[in-house]
A and B are shown apart, each in its own frame.
Chain A
């Protein structure tokens, strides 16, 4: 019963490098989300997807890209890492039914130096 799995758990990037944060869920959830969490700032929505092949911008999408080729996977791409992207990133999913609770992954802590 894996739920939402994120990899890696930690990563240090140099400015200008790129990387992909992986997110996989095994609950057949339609909706998936990427959030970033900065200290004392709560969770900010980066991108979301309502199903395979459909993605849309959230509150803070600049500097990020996503794709949703399958129901299970929702990777987040950073193309040119900047110090402002130092944060903890959480992937979440929920079903399409009347269930408003998101299931979160355990997070990826990213540091850009």
Chain B
């Protein structure tokens, strides 16, 4: 099946710093999604991207759908303590009747005061 390589695996940053993480795939995706998971909870959708080259913002979060359709990045500006959690990228391949998502392995973000 499709593989998503998400990096970095973990990040330790100071409050107020900007953060960047990305996902790459060997296959083409027609949708990229970014999720955040808080401890003990399920992932929650942050941003959805539907077109190659699309750049979308949600507050301090900005994500882009790569031109090649094989990658996406997520930026978080001016990080705050509540940004702590695991961030997952997810992609939907071109084919598949159930619109199954393939998930990256996650980026564990820690924000230091």
Contact B98 A100 (CB under 8 A): no
Contact A43 B48 (CB under 8 A): no
User: Which A residue's beta carbon lies closest to that of B6?
Assistant: A42
Asked whether A104 is an interface residue with its Cβ less than 8 Å from the other chain, the reply is yes
Knowing A31-B98, A106-B41, A107-B42 are in contact, say whether A42-B33 is a contact too (CB < 8 A): no
Contact B103 A42 (CB under 8 A): yes
User: Which B residue's beta carbon lies closest to that of A9?
Assistant: B40
Task: Give every chain A residue within 8 A of B33 (Cβ-Cβ).
Answer: 100-101
Count of residues in A whose CB is under 8 Å from the partner chain:
25
Task: Give every chain B residue within 8 A of A104 (Cβ-Cβ).
Answer: 42-44
Minimum CB–CB distance for A34 against chain B, Å: 12
Of the candidates B1, B41, B103, the one whose C-beta lies within 8 Å of that of A43 is B103
- Give 1 or 0 for each of B84-108: 1 = CB within 8 Å of chain A CB: 0000100010000111110111100
Asked whether A53 is an interface residue with its Cβ less than 8 Å from the other chain, the reply is no
Knowing A40-B106, A104-B42, A106-B42 are in contact, say whether A31-B99 is a contact too (CB < 8 A): yes
Of the candidates A42, A56, A101, A105, the one whose C-beta lies within 8 Å of that of B42 is A105
Contact A101 B45 (CB under 8 A): yes
Contact A102 B88 (CB under 8 A): no
Knowing A31-B99, A33-B100 are in contact, say whether A43-B88 is a contact too (CB < 8 A): yes
Of the candidates B1, B50, B101, B105, the one whose C-beta lies within 8 Å of that of A102 is B101
Contact B100 A100 (CB under 8 A): no
Task: Give every chain B residue within 8 A of A50 (Cβ-Cβ).
Answer: 97-98
Among A34-59, those with CB < 8 Å from B are 35, 40-43, 45, 48, 50, 56, 58-59
Residue positions of A touching B, CB distance < 8 A? 4, 31, 33, 35, 40-43, 45, 48, 50, 56, 58-59, 90, 92, 94, 100-107
Residue positions of B touching A, CB distance < 8 A? 1, 4, 6, 9, 31, 33, 40-45, 48, 50, 88, 92, 97-101, 103-106
What are the nearest 7 A-B pairs in CB distance?
A104-B42, A42-B105, A101-B45, A43-B103, A42-B103, A100-B31, A104-B43
